[in-house]
């Protein structure tokens, strides 16, 4: 039988189990993960697949992502692809080239293709002056048809905007905002070079709601220098008072060898492993008591939020912006380092600004690398997506869709799955693979079992810790 009663969404925090099984691993915003992309997949390959996808599914709306990399201050914890500068005029040239890239992309998808989701990420998107934000959105609307109910979202740094900025964002159509906070504790903020008051943050959220934002997301980070249970309790209480619709509670991944800004963070100031687990457990306890539903990974949402409803209905998806309700959209990504998904392919743009400009000066899409998924990749991606988003997989549905026998096809993976079953992380029978409440915080471990590319420990070290 394929029908199964919806499992409850409770989560159980077993710190001993987490401590034993915590390891490095991917976040699975894609499968295969971006480090598996190859440069043999170039702009020509991408264009061919985009045109084919357009012909095959003209009725499907698109999702658009714009990477706006500029920041005028450096947050030491940050691992994003960014350009730190005080020169706001740099964004004028960048918007020029984004518009040129947009025209090249739009040509692959026909006349005025429909868009149901749009996101500006960064960097700090509001680094752009108001006239440049208006110009970029006007150009987008001239090339694409934003649907009336489209989800139009932007990442906000509350230190860099005011009520006037929020009015502009509302006027040009943004209806969702994501606000970075990390922690309100002043000692923590000083250690990571991000001084931000509760009052600044409250002003931005209230102003956004006044100007049409129907959803507010807040980002927090646990594991930052000088964080304590007492201090994080105060931050969580303040955040709950702000009543965001969604929250993301990220684990700080200290990887100074890969991200130079993190070298300014003293390792001796970081909380111990035991404290990090206690901080996570505290956040889960306080948020669930406040009425938030655990969605997965590090995401929470109110019970009536679209993410929660999508999960309950089996429609939740995961992409490079995190969890999403837009399952059937091709994701067209623009700007340096932006990653998109079209048909059975992923692609990533060049990461260097000069090369980005050079490619577009030659009227070339700035695609650096990508990957075309094999039949095995598609099967494993579907399985991993279901685990990440629904915490369960119907083996019958998977077998019908991909014409495989689960227990035979994944015979090599079964011993690890059975071990995780003995640990209480999951249940596996002839019909269902179900992640238990105890296993939900370790969902990345479970998904890693099915990752064909993770064959050696040296490959795993490039990823952040699971918890």
Residue-wise DSSP of 239-276: HHHH--SEEEEEEP---TTT-GGGGGS-GGGSPPHHHH
Q: 267 is written with which tokens? A: 């390792």
Q: Does domain 1-32+374-467 have CATH number 1.10.10.920?
A: yes
Residue-wise DSSP of 341-365: EETTEEEEE-S-HHHHHHHHHTT--
Query: Beta strand 299-302 with 246-251: parallel, antiparallel or unpaired?
Result: antiparallel
The span from the CA of 392 to the CA of 384, in Å, is 10
**Closest C-alpha to 146, from 136, 158, 156, 131:** 136
| Region of poorest pLDDT, from 6-15, 21-30, 75-84, 319-328 | 6-15
Residue 3: what pLDDT?
43
pLDDT-derived band of residue 112, with 50, 70 and 90 as boundaries? confident
pLDDT higher for 143 or 467? 143
The mean per-residue pLDDT over the stretch 21-36 comes to 88
The mean per-residue pLDDT over the stretch 36-54 comes to 91
| Region of poorest pLDDT, from 324-333, 395-404, 411-420 | 324-333
pLDDT digits (tens, 9 = 90+) for 202-218: 999 999 999 999 999 99
Residue 408: what pLDDT?
97
Residue 8: what pLDDT?
42
Question: Under a CB-based contact definition with an 8 Å cutoff, are residues 180 and 189 in contact?
Answer: no
Q: What is the mean pLDDT of the chain?
A: 91
Q: In this prediction, what percent of the chain has a pLDDT beyond 70?
A: 94
pLDDT digits (tens, 9 = 90+) for 229-281: 999 999 999 999 999 999 999 999 888 888 888 999 999 999 998 999 899 99
Domain locations in the chain as residue ranges: 1-32+374-467, 35-339
- In the predicted structure, residue 9 carries a pLDDT above the cut 70: no
3-class DSSP assignment, residue 301: strand
Question: Under a CB-based contact definition with an 8 Å cutoff, are residues 302 and 214 in contact?
Answer: no
Q: In which residue are the tokens 């979202």 written?
A: 153
CATH topology match: 1-32+374-467 vs 35-339: no
The span from the CA of 415 to the CA of 216, in Å, is 43
**Closest C-alpha to 467, from 450, 438, 442, 430:** 442
Instruction: Find the farthest-apart pair of alpha carbons in the chain and give their distance in angstroms, rounded.
Output: 61
Rounded to two decimals, the pTM is 0.92
CATH architecture assignment, domain 35-339: Alpha-Beta Horseshoe (3.80)
């Amino acid at each position: 039988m394929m029908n199964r009663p919806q499992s409850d969404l409770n989560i159980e925090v077993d710190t001993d189990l987490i401590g034993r099984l915590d390891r490095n691993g991917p976040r699975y915003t894609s499968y295969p993960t971006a480090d598996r992309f190859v440069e043999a997949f170039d702009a020509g390959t991408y264009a061919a697949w985009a045109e084919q996808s357009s012909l095959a599914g003209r009725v499907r709306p698109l999702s658009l992502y714009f990477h706006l990399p500029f920041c005028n201050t450096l947050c030491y914890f940050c691992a994003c692809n960014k350009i730190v500068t005080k020169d706001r005029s740099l964004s004028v040239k960048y918007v020029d080239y984004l518009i040129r890239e947009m025209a090249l992309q739009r040509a692959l998808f026909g006349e005025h293709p429909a868009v149901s989701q749009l996101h500006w990420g960064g960097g700090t998107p509001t680094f752009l002056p108001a006239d440049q934000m208006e110009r970029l959105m006007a150009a987008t609307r001239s090339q694409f048809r934003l649907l009336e109910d489209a989800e139009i979202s932007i990442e906000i740094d509350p230190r860099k905007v005011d009520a006037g900025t929020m009015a502009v964002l509302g006027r040009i159509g943004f209806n969702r905002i994501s606000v970075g906070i990390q922690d309100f504790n002043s000692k923590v903020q000083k250690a990571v070079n991000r001084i931000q008051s509760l009052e600044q943050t409250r002003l931005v959220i209230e102003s956004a709601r006044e100007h049409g934002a129907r959803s507010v997301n807040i980002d927090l980070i646990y594991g930052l220098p000088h964080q304590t249970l007492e201090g994080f309790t105060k931050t969580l209480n303040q955040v709950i008072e702000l009543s965001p619709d969604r929250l993301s509670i990220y684990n700080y991944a200290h990887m100074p060898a890969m991200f130079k800004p993190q070298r300014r963070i003293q390792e001796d100031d970081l909380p111990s492993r035991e404290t990090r687990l206690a901080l996570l457990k505290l956040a889960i306890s306080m948020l669930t008591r406040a009425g938030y539903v655990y969605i997965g990974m590090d995401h929470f949402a109110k019970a009536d939020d679209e993410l929660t409803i999508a999960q309950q209905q089996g429609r939740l998806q995961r992409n490079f912006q995190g969890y999403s309700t837009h399952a059937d959209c091709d994701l067209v990504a623009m700007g340096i380092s932006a990653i998109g998904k079209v048909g059975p392919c992923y692609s990533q743009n060049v990461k260097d600004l000069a090369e980005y400009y050079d490619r577009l000066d030659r009227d070339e899409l700035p695609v650096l690398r990508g990957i075309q998924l094999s039949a095995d990749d598609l099967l494993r991606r579907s399985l991993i997506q279901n685990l990440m988003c629904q915490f369960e997989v119907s083996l019958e549905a998977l077998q019908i869709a991909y014409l495989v026998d689960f227990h035979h096809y994944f015979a090599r993976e079964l011993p690890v799955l059975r071990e995780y079953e003995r640990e209480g992380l999951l249940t596996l029978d002839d019909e269902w693979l179900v992640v238990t409440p105890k296993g939900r915080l370790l969902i990345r471990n479970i998904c890693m079992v099915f990752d064909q590319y993770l064959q050696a420990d040296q490959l795993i070290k490039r990823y952040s810790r699971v918890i």
